[in-house]
Structure 1
């Protein structure tokens, strides 16, 4: 495609580019916009799904502004007991823990299957 960026531009940050930037929503209290560079619907929807389950989050949504620009805009509003930044940090910590546990479980199952195959020789 003539307008498509080079593949490496879809996942490598540019010189001085930050992974996440924020800006305040001045129209709505306790609301921040997070722009996550070099990501797509996968991370946007994953974070949003967990944010809406958080008891202090009033609203969470994401969008990908343009299909050829690899970034996600996440909008988060909280009750005010915690900040949107704290809610996102808590959710990401929880997701990292879940992914770590999943990785350990997959590794354990793989090792069990490998040992069973070796015993069956």
Structure 2
């Protein structure tokens, strides 16, 4: 819900229900990157309320339009982060599978052993202390 002046569309407060610092701080960050924004801040009226108030003052453009653009930019950022994360998970899983297959083939029928144990057994020279 938007609260603002009918005479000055460049300053408004937007109340968003069922939200907290997570969304409010993200929106504030994106808004403050916009050169059309003169001021942006948010508050939570009461800790028991799941509501945030985001105050936006622009250099002249309607605050509602700038706020809407910021929300769209935030959606694009979140989609990019999600896509990057999903790709990293796929890459990680495929690397784990390739490493596990390499370990399995090098263990010569001894069953699956952990990568760390395999590296310890194959990389360091082994010596047997016969004094004990």
User: TM-score scaled by structure 2?
Assistant: 0.70
Alignment of 1:10-25 (within 5 A): 21-25=1-5
Unaligned runs of 5+ in 1: 1-20
Alignment of 1:9-88 (within 5 A): 21-25=1-5, 30-80=10-60, 82-88=61-67
1:52 match: secondary structure: helix
Distance 1:23 1:83 in 2: 13
The answer to whether the aligner puts 1:102 opposite 2:61 as a matched pair is no
Q: What is residue 114 of structure 1 aligned with on the other side?
A: 93
Distance 1:74 1:25 in 2: 15
Larger-gyration structure (1/2): 2
1:4-23 Cα distance to aligned partner (Å, 9 max, x none): xxxxxxxxxxxxxxxxx011
In the alignment of these two chains, the number of paired residues is 100
Shift of 1:27: 8.9
Unaligned runs of 5+ in 2: 101-132
Distance 1:59 1:27 in 2: 18
> RMSD value over aligned CA atoms?
1.7
Distance 1:47 1:65 in 2: 17
Distance 1:85 1:29 in 2: 8
Q: What is residue 11 of structure 1 aligned with on the other side?
A: none
Would the aligned equivalents of 2:17 and 2:51 in 1 still touch at CA under 8 Å? yes
